[in-house]
Amino acid sequence: MAMITVVTETVPPRLRGRLAVWLLEVRAGVYVGDVTRRVREMIWEQVEELAEEGNVVMVWATNTESGFDFITYGKNRRMPIDLDGLRLVTFTPDNE
């Protein structure tokens, strides 16, 4: 089992309800929990199915150089990149 954190923005209430089944909502849109890999993958399937136009990031502890890994869903200025095996975040230009 590994600790995970899920942060949501502008997602439908039904996704927030599904996340609350497995994780504790410690702040609005911020969920934490200690789950197995199988449950983590099932939670991510729910995100992909229900998030619609919102955006989500999931972070979990793993045995890598940084000690964690993450995945994102939806449009956001922060985009993950891989730099020689190290996961980093880049910012896209603000188009406002």
Per-residue burial over 84-94, b if 16 or more Cβ lie within 10 Å, else e, is eeeeeeeeeee
Does some domain include residue 51? yes
Q: Which CATH number fits the domain that encloses residue 40?
A: 3.30.70.240
Q: Convert the pLDDT of each residue in 2-30 to its tens digit.
A: 999 999 999 999 999 999 999 999 999 99
Q: Is 22 inside any structural domain?
A: yes
Q: Give dist(CA 29, CA 74) in Å, integer.
A: 15
- pLDDT band at residue 35 under the 50/70/90 scheme: very high
Determine, yes or no, domain membership for 96: no
Q: Pick the more confident residue, 65 or 41.
A: 41
If one counts the domains in the chain, the total is: 1
Half-sphere exposure of 34 (CA within 13 A, CB side): 1
Query: Which residues of the chain form beta strands (DSSP E)?
Result: 2-9, 24-27, 30-35, 55-61, 68-73, 78-83, 86-91
**Does 56 fall in a domain?**
yes
Q: Is residue 32 part of a domain?
A: yes
Q: For residue 34, what are the domain limits?
A: 2-91
